[in-house]
Amino acid sequence: MKTSSKLAILSILFLTASATFAADDGNTKPRLSNGAVSYGTTDIIYETSVSGNVKGVSCNFSSGRIIFTVDGAAAQTINMPIGFLDANGDSHTGWVPMNIRFTSSIRVQIQQTGTSHQLDCDVSWALD
């Protein structure tokens, strides 16, 4: 077999395998959690000894960040964009889709980084 053919087969196997691990087969128990904070940090989700995935996030705020701790690893922070303003002048991010898999624990926190308004976020997630 030619080297290029072997590489093509290995590439297909690798891509298929990585897609399989990230896939959500739909056999999950959906959940929607909400959290709000005016100052500092608060938990939206704090679950241990579970597996599943975080499906997405939506926030209303002036400035804030979301902190993910997956399977006890180091925390990862996302600074949420300001988004768009509604008729009341409130800022909304819209829906930010994600597929964050966890096998043993998940912690999602929100942190207010500004001083003017309350940070309010919804997180869609599921347990296997």
Q: What is d(CA 114, CA 117) in angstroms, rounded to the nearest whole number?
A: 7
pLDDT of residue 55: 94
CATH number for the region 26-127 comes to 2.60.120.1390
Across the range 13-35, mean pLDDT stands at: 63
Mean predicted confidence (pLDDT) in 44-53: 92
Phi-psi region of 26 (alpha: psi -120 to 50; beta: other; left: phi over 0): left
47 pLDDT exceeds 70? yes
* pLDDT tens per residue across span 50-81: 999 999 998 887 678 899 999 999 999 988 76
pTM assigned to the model: 0.74
Helix, strand, or coil here: 114? coil
Cα-based angle 67, 40, 59 (whole degrees, multiple of 5): 55
Burial class (CB in 10 A: 0-12, 13-18, 19+), 86: exposed
